[in-house]
Amino acid sequence: SESGCLSIVVLGASGDLAKKKTFPALFHLFQQGFLQSGEVHIFGYARSDISDDGLRERIRGYLKGASDEVISEFLQLSMKIQKATNQEARVDYFIWHCLHQSTPSNDGWTRVIVEKPFGKDLDSAEELSAQLGELFNEQQLYRIDHYLGKELVQNLLVLRFANRLFLPLWNRDNIANVQIVFREDFGTEGRGGYFDQYGIIRDIIQNHLLQVFCLVAMEKPVSLKPEHIRDEKVKVLQSVTPINHDEVVLGQYDGYKDDSTVPDDSNTPTFASLVLRVHNERWEGVPFILKAGKALNNRKAEIRVQFKDAPGDIFKCKKQGRNEFVIRLQPSEAMYMKLTVKKPGLEMATEQSELDLSYGLRYQDVKIPEAYERLILDTIRGDQQHFVRRDELRAAWEIFTPLLHDIDAGKLKALPYKPGTRGPSEADELSKRMGYVQTHGYVWIPPT
């Protein structure tokens, strides 16, 4: 508002997301001077019975990397807790109510960050959009997908469109396949009840991986204006053809159903690998493999763009010599390009090596911001570039709804896999079937 006062209302203030992400993000913004005492008020709404001080103490446990003094200063930003009753748990009422309490004056602005789940399928998402649409216009709605706040996800546009090197290569003539992979080395841990209603496709693939897919596959936007970028995302989503069930592998880790909140006969996938195909001039025939799993052997999110074999091979290094461009979103942000090089030494032998841009080495002094921190700041600044537009959400649900309904109806079965493994071996076979060739770094391949 004109008085320069900003009220931030956190719904579900005693919940998991608020503790782990929202409050730490607000705290980092405070530390960097974006939220000033006296100008900012933070209100928390929660269903748990908790006092203002109780909430402050709970949040304190999640704030790290600062002195007790700074943390206390942050916690004094007039943190108020409003107890919500069960009837108020409906999101529309909640927002409405908060809005009335928090809009400082008519000169001010109100923006609402909405977190997933945005429905469970096309119809429920549309219903939610319609409800929100009655209360707010699209410019006020910030549908958050925190993957869009990750450093290397934000780098995708720059990489693709500011580098001459990639421009002529980024298409079906040169790229054999693309994999977008999310792996976690822990299970649903206390979120079993929520998770079982959704499954890995709704939890990770339909949103996080699909957003990454958009940025990898979309055409160049007219400009960096949010609407221009989002127009291109919608277009590429609309070019995706219906998912073929033969190109889907589902898994569920052993022990998932031990959680008392998960039904014994649950078929909910905790792992999925599936192929998207884009029906356009750039991508016809190139499989995009989207893979996500919980309770796997490691935690990693990466994009792998695998190029076709170099024609007319004279080195006999065969497919081990494929170029692959890997963008590791986490942990340890990095980009590397697998290349075939001469193995240093007297012999004329080739090996796979890497052109490596590891952020930890190159940008040693830069602290990479947390996704939520960046996205909350974007909201305060009124920049919707990294948020999901209503028609984009609709297009995303259109892709996955038929498959999800078939899974919910038990037409596709989740295969069991052992926690701590790569998931069902059928998924590796699917990648292989899609033409993905496992390449090996630093392995000497003797000439034949």
List residues near ligand BG6 by CB under 6 A. 146, 184, 203, 301
Which of 215, 301 has the CB closer to ligand BG6? Answer: 301
Cβ atoms within 10 Å, residue 190: 11
Which of 333, 351 has the CB closer to ligand BG6? Answer: 333
Single out the residue of 312, 295, 336, 368 nearest to residue 442, CA to CA.
336
Which of 146, 230 has the CB closer to ligand BG6? Answer: 146
Catalytic residue of the set 28, 97, 146, 208: 208
User: For the purposes of burial, counting CB atoms within 10 Å of the CB of 282, is it exposed (0-12), middle (13-18) or buried (19 or more)?
Assistant: middle
Which of 81, 212 has the CB closer to ligand BG6? Answer: 212
Q: How far is the CB of 300 from ligand BG6 (least distance, A)?
A: 9
Q: How far is the CB of 370 from ligand BG6 (least distance, A)?
A: 9
Q: How far is the CB of 17 from ligand BG6 (least distance, A)?
A: 9
- 355 DSSP β-pair partners: 337
Q: How far is the CB of 104 from ligand BG6 (least distance, A)?
A: 31
User: For the purposes of burial, counting CB atoms within 10 Å of the CB of 111, is it exposed (0-12), middle (13-18) or buried (19 or more)?
Assistant: middle
Which of 77, 292 has the CB closer to ligand BG6? Answer: 292
Which of 144, 305 has the CB closer to ligand BG6? Answer: 144
8-state DSSP, 339: E
> Cis link prior to 117 (omega < 30° from 0)?
yes
Assess whether 208 carries a catalytic annotation: yes
Are 241 and 279 contacting, i.e. CB atoms less than 8 angstroms apart?
Answer: yes
For the chain, the farthest-separated pair of C-alpha atoms sits apart, in whole angstroms, at 77
> Minimal CB distance to ligand BG6: which residue?
203
Question: DSSP letters along 45-78, please?
Answer: EESS---HHHHHHHHHTT--SS-HHHHHHHHTTT
Q: How far is the CB of 413 from ligand BG6 (least distance, A)?
A: 22
Q: How far is the CB of 371 from ligand BG6 (least distance, A)?
A: 6
Q: How far is the CB of 314 from ligand BG6 (least distance, A)?
A: 43
**172 to each of 164, 168, 313, how far by Cα in Å?**
17, 10, 20
- 341 DSSP β-pair partners: 351
Instruction: To the nearest 10°, report the CA torsion of 296, 298, 304, 306.
Output: -80
Secondary structure tally for the chain: helices H, strands E: 14, 15
Cβ atoms within 10 Å, residue 412: 18
175: phi > 0 → left, psi -120 to 50 → alpha, else beta; which?
beta
Which of 71, 153 has the CB closer to ligand BG6? Answer: 153
Catalytic positions, written as ranges: 208
